[in-house]
């Protein structure tokens, strides 16, 4: 039997958060409901952040309330602080995520905190989630390159990954936020991170700005990673990462993994439909 590699669908959150047009809640719900038919185990659908910082995610509670939950699918939400955590729990998120950075410049721009301050903020969130049995994922942004600070030292990524794991995150997602990673830099970063976190607790989250995400997934597979984040239709970008156009497309990751002999458990036809729906939701020439 082919080995399973999981794609964690990011479209409704990372995919849409940067869209300028405020997308009606019903459209977001329709996208999530279609994605729920594709065979994902985890879909990130919401983000309980400041609506002043990310207006597109302001209706996260309504999205979670409106979707039809498929059995076996966990619907995830970003939670930067206790306020976000409480809102995510009230809205019925099945898992939450804290999100930090391996570069000080991005940490400051994205969550208005230093790396150390952000970890302090995450601590009560992780503890509160654990107390009610809610899984917490940890993101690290700018694992190879930062739009503000330049190249990232792999040792810093390893340091933050180790810390997030020890604080209680069940998985660490390694973000090439601006899609400038190369197979060599991703490999060097993984070399450092794997010294402190095992491959089965890591995920690759590679934006495709420079068209290298699939090559970066290849080297990550060789290093033993078996979870990758992607967004249908290649939607997305981060509002605080200039030039962070496009998550790698779920369809492309699925096809690449199939070509390499892995099983994703996903229905390609549903992915195609969801990709089409996602592309229609984007405004023309969004600020990429
Ligand atoms: P701050 O300004 O330092 O904090 O923001 P604050 O506590 O002073 O709050 C500012 C305002 O936000 C206040 O409102 C708070 O009430 C409100 P005001 O008094 O001005 O009217 N507020 C909230 N509102 C709703 N929900 C909350 C919340 N918290 C405070 N949870 C903060 C700090 C973290 C809130 C802010 O910086 C923020 O929301 N940042 C979010 C940035 C973001 O969402 N970025 C995109 C996601 S990360 C990403 O895409 C990368 C990833 O994909 C991986 C990769 O690709 O690398 C994950
Ligand atoms: Mg991202």
pLDDT of residue 287: 45
DSSP letter at 169 equals -
Atom of ligand 1 nearest to the CA of 10: 53
ipTM field: 0.98
Atom of ligand 1 nearest to the CA of 54: 44
Detail the DSSP E strand segments found in the chain: 6-9, 42-47, 74-78, 95-101, 136-141, 145-146, 150-151, 171-176, 202-206, 227-230
Contact between residue 180 and residue 145 where contact means Cβ atoms under 8 Å apart: yes
- What's the CA-to-centroid distance between 238 and ligand 2, angstroms? 6
- Per-residue pLDDT of 88-146, as tens digits, reads 999 999 999 999 999 999 999 999 999 999 999 999 999 999 999 999 999 999 999 99
As a whole number of Å, the end-to-end CA separation of the chain is: 40
Query: Both tokens of residue 55?
Result: 């207006």
**Alpha carbon distance 187, 110 (integer Å):** 25
Q: Please name the residue whose Cα sits nearest to atom 45 of ligand 1.
A: 110
State the pTM of this model: 0.96
Of 189, 159, 191, nearest in space to 174 by CA: 189
């Amino acid at each position: 039997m082919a080995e399973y590699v999981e794609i964690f669908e990011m479209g409704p959150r990372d995919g849409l958060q940067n869209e300028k047009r405020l997308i009606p809640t019903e459209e977001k719900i329709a996208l999530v409901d279609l994605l729920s038919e594709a065979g994902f185990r985890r879909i990130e659908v919401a983000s309980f952040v400041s609506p002043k910082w990310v207006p597109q995610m302001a209706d996260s509670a309504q999205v979670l309330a409106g979707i039809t939950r498929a059995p076996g699918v966990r619907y995830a939400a970003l939670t930067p602080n206790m306020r976000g955590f409480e809102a995510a729990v009230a809205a019925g998120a099945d898992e939450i995520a804290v999100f930090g950075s391996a570069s000080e410049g991005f940490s400051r721009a994205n969550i208005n905190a230093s790396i150390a301050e952000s970890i302090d903020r995450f601590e009560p969130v992780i503890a509160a989630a654990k107390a009610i049995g809610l899984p917490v994922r940890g993101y690290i942004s700018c694992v190879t390159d930062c739009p503000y600070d330049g190249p990232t030292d792999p040792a810093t990524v390893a340091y933050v990954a180790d810390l997030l794991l020890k604080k209680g995150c069940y998985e660490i997602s390694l973000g090439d936020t601006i899609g400038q990673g190369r197979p060599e830099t991703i490999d060097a970063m993984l070399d450092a991170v794997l010294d402190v976190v095992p491959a089965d607790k890591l995920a690759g989250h590679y934006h495709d700005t420079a068209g290298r995400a699939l090559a970066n997934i290849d080297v990550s597979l060789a290093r033993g990673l078996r979870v990758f984040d992607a967004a249908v239709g290649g939607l997305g970008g981060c509002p605080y990462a200039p030039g962070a156009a496009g998550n790698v497309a779920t369809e492309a990751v699925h096809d690449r993994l199939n070509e390499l002999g892995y099983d994703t458990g996903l229905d390609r036809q549903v992915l195609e439909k969801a990709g089409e729906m996602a592309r229609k939701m984007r405004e023309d020439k969004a600020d990429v």
